[in-house]
Amino acid sequence: MGDLVQNATKNQKKLLASEKKHSSGVCALCRGTKFLCGKNRCPVIVRYHSKTKVKPLLNSLRLEGASPPSVFVGRIGYPKVAIGPMIPPVMGDTSEIDTPERWLEKTLDDIVDFRSQLVRGKFTVDVTDVERPHRIVEFTRELALSKNAVFADAMFAKKPYGKIAFYDEVQPHGPSAPLKTLDITNPRYEQHIEKAYYDTDLKAKDAILDIYRNGVLISKIQRAFSVGAFGVKKNRRFVPTRWSITAVDSTLGAELMKKTKEYPFINEVRAYFLNQFDNRWIVLMMPSEWQYELIEAWYPNTTWNPYGTGISIFNSYEFYDGRTTYAEIGGCYYAARLAVNELLNKERRQASVVILREAHPGYIMPIGVWNVRESVRCALTQPCRKFSTVQESLVYVSEIMDIPLQRWIRNSAVLKNQLYQRKLEDFLVR
């Protein structure tokens, strides 16, 4: 997990530094009226509207509301990290605010609006302090283990401050403040998570797998994992939220992948398609031993190509024996890998998989890795197109995607392997 963290953090810092370097001049000249950045909506205005909805919170040291439940574990200063609840100024059932599995039918504005209501409380601990006898530590953990919204009453040392926070891996959230006290009322644990929490001899990996097999949402597993709820007691740690997301996706995907490799090949070439949040997705499945690749094409004026003049294409892949290094694309790679292995395990089949993603200018801000996992999951529920050959499927790709086919092939290790690498059966006498 150390390699996952180190490489992901390095790549994200480079991207964010580049964005900050260029943003102020264009935005100051445009001021949300000329759309000089090329986006069809101004991200500054979108953020501003959401910020005004939480402005009354910025003038109070106390906040009462129903936490979805939601918690956040930071990574700055690791191994000293800020933990705490995220609370909206809303009562009742707020569970949807922290259940990304339900968000695909929402708009980007919807997601920003309800996530901006979450105020993050921060209390600094060492990552080993999971059993520290402190009310904030205990209540943060109880929130993370809960299955329903929980009433929370927070007192802050300072007034909540800051704009909406956007991340590539993690869902956005609203302002934050140092936490002075925290009280919660009647949390009810998710039973499978509770069982794993009290089993202090059960390894974290086994806990994650057991809970997943019992149908618990991945977002709930990730949340509990972040507060050190799983594993042998002496090894339990707080895990920064962004790391916990990728760790759970990677663990589940790797385990499912082992089973995938035992199954017979699919019988045809398949292509699944989805258009979501101005992202076009095609999932190609080919009858072959397990191989996997995610290729992302970012148009100019999108999240990770905000000032480019051309389309930027990134890929990460693995052949049958898997990867030994962290994927260049980051957490998205592991989220999508999990989704495709879920389908292959359900069908008890094996395939070579290539996922193509075109991120168009309507995708104006990052909303988290959940988007990749849930979009690929959704694509795989759509009726697929079936073909006799890889070449036929690529004709379909050229009709659906804007980027020329040859550029996809040029940037793909797996497609080149499928198209140009002769296989053993090619030499067999028929």
> Is residue 97 located within the same domain as residue 28?
yes
Range of the domain at 367: 262-427
Tell me the mean pLDDT in the region 238-263. Answer: 98
What pLDDT sits at residue 34? Answer: 59
Residue 85 covered by a domain: yes
Q: Which residue has the higher pLDDT, 22 or 185?
A: 185
What pLDDT sits at residue 161? Answer: 85
Residue 35 covered by a domain: yes
Residue 198 covered by a domain: yes
Residue 257 covered by a domain: no
**What is this structure's pTM?**
0.88
> Is residue 41 located within the same domain as residue 187?
yes
Least confident span in 91-95, 110-114, 119-123, 421-425: 421-425
> Is residue 24 located within the same domain as residue 139?
yes
Report the mean per-residue pLDDT for the chain: 89
Burial 311-341 (b: 16+ CB within 10 A, else e): bebbbbbbeeeeeeebbebbbbbbbbbbbbb
User: How many domains, the chain?
Assistant: 2
**Structure tokens belonging to residue 428:** 């067999």
For 311-354, what is each residue's pLDDT tens digit?
999 999 999 999 999 999 999 999 999 999 999 999 999 999 99
Residue 252 covered by a domain: no
Least confident span in 196-200, 340-344, 417-421: 417-421
Residue 83 covered by a domain: yes
Domain stop point among 199, 218, 247: 247
For 41-52, what is each residue's pLDDT tens digit?
667 556 645 655
What pLDDT sits at residue 55? Answer: 65
What pLDDT sits at residue 61? Answer: 95
> Is residue 234 located within the same domain as residue 188?
yes
For 114-142, what is each residue's pLDDT tens digit?
999 999 999 999 999 999 999 999 999 99
> Is residue 51 located within the same domain as residue 197?
yes
- Within 10 angstroms of residue 3's Cβ, the number of other Cβ atoms is 10
Q: Is the pLDDT of residue 243 over 70?
A: yes
Residue 399 covered by a domain: yes
Q: Give how far Cα 73 sits from Cα of 115, 138, 217, 246, 273, Å.
A: 16, 14, 19, 14, 35
> Is residue 231 located within the same domain as residue 116?
yes
> Is residue 300 located within the same domain as residue 408?
yes
Angle between helix 331-347 and helix 241-260 axes, rounded to 10 deg:
30
Residue 152 covered by a domain: yes
The share of the chain scoring above pLDDT 70, in percent, equals: 85
